[in-house]
């Protein structure tokens, strides 16, 4: 890529040199500080700044009444919406709204002045977020955030209006290409994961012999299973023990992990169980069981299994990949599974020798798929890093895209 013919010192360490013709100013000189007024209608679109930009909320009555949106600030098409809080966690800091509506007063909503293009500013902010830890300088309290005064003092680079248009068009074109590649790669990953699940499901219910005689399992979601296999309730294979409140053993420097439905949530000074086990959700996230083979403590939102047959936790994990949790769970706002729900589940069980053959086969085949998933996942990471660095380089003038041909 080309660079500009001449640069000047911005006077800002993290920004470095900028194109000679660009103006370095502050946000307060790029925005109108315009107020659209406050929402007074129950029929107004309610907006939110999501990971993919400003979107219209569809489920307005989930958890709160529509009256709660009265008094929210109004948003017009073309306004820029900024999030002034948790910017260390949110993937994007701003977006140009394509919608009219209202949004929480926690956001900053404004219009750009005539010499500033809203699309350019949106890319500029994206570039700042991923190029420096600049915004962390404004942090106050436990959350990274800034107020309107601090927002107004943030440096703003302003090329000519024509150049802002060229930069925006270039980045629209390039990022859309990258986003398509990311989406296609993600679709490939999803297909690989579906292939993995299908492989496991077929193998643990049908076995490895395609010519084996089958019989009706009597369980709708299991279907036919090989003759000679048994249908056994979980309670005869494993006992379930509930997790316990970890308060008394919590220790940031503790030796043992404290586990929740999403994995490790803290550390502790003692363990609850120290043998290989399958952890099952009791409430909340119940459809993501996982294996663990080191000493651990588990919170009271989960069960851990204790082996009482020759069925291993690993084989039980394979069986649970085919379990339709929606068939068993209860509760709508917080899905739950009782001990009885789990213990009453039927699973198809072949003889020990065949189980080992199934485990060995699935270890080999799923590892191939996992390697492909890993390759594609790393590709997505590289594409996202390229996207971020490209935007940052362009909006800070490190590269000159004025003569780039968009084909």
Pairing of the two strands 238-242 and 155-158: unpaired
Q: Residue 31 gets which letter from DSSP?
A: B
Question: Is 130 found in the same domain as 214?
Answer: no
Report how many helices (DSSP H) and strands (DSSP E) the chain contains, helices first. 7, 22
Residue with structure tokens 């080999």? 364
Question: Is 80 found in the same domain as 56?
Answer: yes
| C-alpha count within 13 angstroms, C-beta hemisphere, residue 140 | 5
Length of the chain equals 407
177-186 long-range contacts, CB within 8 A, separation 24+: 178/383, 178/386, 178/387, 178/390, 179/387, 181/383, 182/380, 182/383, 182/384, 185/376, 185/379, 185/380, 185/383, 186/380
Q: What is the pTM of this model?
A: 0.82
Question: Is 215 found in the same domain as 236?
Answer: yes
Using an 8 Å Cβ cutoff, are 352 and 91 in contact? no
Neighbour count for residue 194 (Cβ, 10 Å): 10
Which residue, 128, 24, 121, is CA-closest to 81? 121
Write the burial class of residue 365 (CB in 10 Å: 0-12 exposed, 13-18 middle, 19+ buried): middle
pLDDT of residue 35: 84
pLDDT of residue 287: 87
Cα–Cα distance between 101 and 84 in angstroms, integer? 19
Question: Is 392 found in the same domain as 364?
Answer: yes
Question: Is 370 found in the same domain as 307?
Answer: no
Q: Which CATH number is 182's domain given?
A: 1.10.287
Q: Which CATH number is 292's domain given?
A: 3.90.220.20
Cα–Cα distances (Å) from 212 to 226, 348, 349, in that order, read: 6, 15, 15
Question: Is 48 found in the same domain as 132?
Answer: yes
pLDDT of residue 43: 87
Which residues constitute the domain of residue 216? 209-349
Q: Is residue 48 part of a domain?
A: yes
pLDDT of residue 64: 47
pLDDT of residue 140: 56
Question: Is 357 found in the same domain as 285?
Answer: no
Number of structural domains in the chain:
3
Neighbour count for residue 156 (Cβ, 10 Å): 21
Pairing of the two strands 155-158 and 290-292: unpaired
Structure tokens at 264: 């490790």
pLDDT of residue 23: 96
pLDDT of residue 68: 74
Mean pLDDT by 10 residues, the chain (407 residues): 92 90 94 89 89 78 59 94 78 88 92 94 84 59 74 92 96 96 98 96 94 93 93 95 93 93 92 95 88 95 94 93 77 79 93 95 97 98 94 94 83
């Amino acid at each position: 890529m080309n660079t500009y013919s001449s640069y000047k010192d911005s006077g800002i360490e993290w920004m470095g040199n900028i194109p000679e013709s660009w103006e370095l100013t502050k946000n307060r000189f790029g925005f109108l500080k315009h107020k659209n007024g406050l929402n007074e209608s129950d029929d107004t679109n309610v907006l939110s700044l999501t990971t993919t930009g400003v979107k219209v909320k569809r489920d307005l009555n989930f958890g709160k009444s529509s009256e709660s949106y009265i008094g929210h600030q109004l948003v017009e098409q073309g306004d820029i919406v900024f999030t002034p809080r948790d910017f260390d966690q949110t993937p994007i800091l701003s977006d140009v709204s394509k919608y009219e509506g209202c949004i929480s007063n926690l956001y900053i909503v404004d219009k750009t002045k005539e010499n500033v293009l809203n699309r350019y500013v949106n890319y500029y902010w994206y570039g700042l977020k991923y190029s420096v830890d600049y915004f962390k300088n404004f942090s106050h309290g436990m959350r990274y955030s800034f107020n309107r005064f601090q927002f107004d003092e943030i440096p703003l680079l302003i090329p000519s209006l024509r150049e802002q248009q060229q930069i925006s068009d270039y980045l629209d074109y390039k990022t859309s290409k990258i986003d398509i590649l990311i989406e296609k790669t993600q679709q490939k990953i999803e297909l690989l994961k579906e292939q993995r699940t299908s492989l496991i499901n077929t193998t643990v219910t049908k076995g490895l012999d395609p010519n084996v005689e089958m019989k009706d399992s009597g369980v709708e979601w299991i279907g036919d299973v090989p003759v000679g296999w048994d249908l056994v309730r979980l309670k005869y294979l494993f006992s379930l023990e509930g997790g316990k409140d970890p308060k008394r053993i919590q220790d940031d420097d503790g030796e043992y992990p404290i586990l929740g439905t999403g994995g490790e949530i803290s550390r502790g000074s003692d363990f609850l169980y120290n043998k290989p086990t399958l952890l099952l959700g009791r409430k909340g996230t119940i459809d993501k069981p996982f294996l663990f083979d080191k000493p651990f403590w588990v919170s009271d939102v989960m069960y851990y299994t204790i082996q009482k047959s020759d069925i291993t936790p690993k084989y039980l994990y394979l069986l649970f990949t085919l379990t339709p949790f929606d068939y068993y769970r209860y509760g709508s706002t917080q899905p739950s599974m009782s001990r009885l729900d789990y213990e009453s589940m039927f699973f198809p069980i072949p003889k020990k020798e065949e189980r080992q053959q199934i485990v060995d086969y699935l270890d080999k085949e799923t590892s191939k798929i996992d390697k492909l998933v890993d390759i594609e996942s790393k590709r997505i990471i590289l594409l996202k890093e390229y996207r971020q660095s490209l935007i940052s380089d362009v909006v800070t003038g490190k590269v000159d895209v004025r003569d780039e041909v968009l084909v």
